[in-house]
Amino acid sequence: MNDDWRSHPEDFKLLAFTFDDGPDPGNTPSVTAKVADIFAEHNGSATFFLIGKYLEQNGGAEVAKYALSKGSELASHSYSHLDSATMAELSEEEFTKEIDGNNQLIEELTGYTPRFYRGGGYARNARIYERLEKLNMPAVGALISLGSDYSGGTATVESIVDNILGAELLDGTIIGGHSTNKKYVTPDALEIILPELYKQGYRFCTLSELFEYKGADYDTAPIHCHITRVETTEDGSPEVHTKWRTYLDSWKTHPEDYKLLAFTFDDGPSPAKDNRMVELFAKYKGSATMFVTGTSCKNYGYESLQNAINNGWDIGNHSMSHADAYTGSQKDGTYTELTYDELKYQIADFNALLEANLTMPDGVTPYEVSLYRPPQIRTTETMFDVCIEEDMPIIWALRDTYDWSSKYTDEMRYDNMKAGIGTWKDGDIILGHITKDITYNILADLLDDFYDAGYRFCSVTELMEYKGIERSDISGKLNNVDGNKGMVTNIANAATYGKAE
Ligand SMILES: [Zn+2]
Ligand SMILES: [Zn+2]
pLDDT for residue 335 is more than 50: yes
pLDDT 10s digits, 433-468: 999 999 999 999 999 999 989 999 999 999 998 888
Q: How confident is the model at residue 92 (pLDDT cuts 50, 70, 90)?
A: very high
Quote the ligand 2 centre to 317 CA distance (angstroms). 10
Burial 14-43 (b: 16+ CB within 10 A, else e): bbbbbbbbbbbbebeebbbbbbbbbbbebb
pLDDT recorded at residue 337: 92
User: Whole-structure pTM over 0.85, yes or no?
Assistant: no
The closest alpha carbon to 225, from 92, 117, 148, 89, belongs to 117
pLDDT value for 484: 75
Query: pLDDT at position 470, please?
Result: 87
Structure confidence at residue 366 (pLDDT) = 84
pLDDT of residue 245: 46
What would the mean pLDDT of 483-488 be, rounded to a whole number? 81
Going along the chain from its start, the domains and CATH numbers come out as 7-243 (3.20.20.370), 248-494 (3.20.20.370)
Mean pLDDT (whole number) for 56-76: 97
Share of the chain above pLDDT 90, in %: 76
User: From ligand 2's centre to the CA of 222, what distance in Å?
Assistant: 36
Q: What is the pLDDT of residues 266-281, one digit of tens each?
A: 999 999 999 999 999 9
Ligand found nearest the CA of 83: 1
How far apart (Å, rounded) are the C-alpha atoms in residues 53 and 73? 18
pLDDT grade for 250, boundaries at 50, 70 and 90:
low
Range 67-74 average pLDDT = 98
Q: How far is the CA of 122 from the centre of ligand 1 (A)?
A: 7
Contact call for residues 177 and 186 (beta carbons, < 8 A): yes
How much distance in Å is there from the Cα of 278 to the middle of ligand 2? 19
Q: Residue 334: which H helix or E strand, with range?
A: strand 334-337
C-alpha 403 to ligand 1 mean position (Å): 49
Report the pLDDT averaged over residues 202-221: 96
pLDDT of residue 38 exceeding 50? yes
Q: How far is the CA of 256 from the centre of ligand 2 (A)?
A: 32
**Could you say which ligand is closest to the alpha carbon of residue 178?**
1
For residue 62, the Cα-to-chain-centroid distance in whole angstroms is 37
pLDDT of 170-194, one tens digit each?
Answer: 999 999 999 999 999 999 999 999 9
Residue 90 CA, ligand 2 centroid: distance in Å: 46
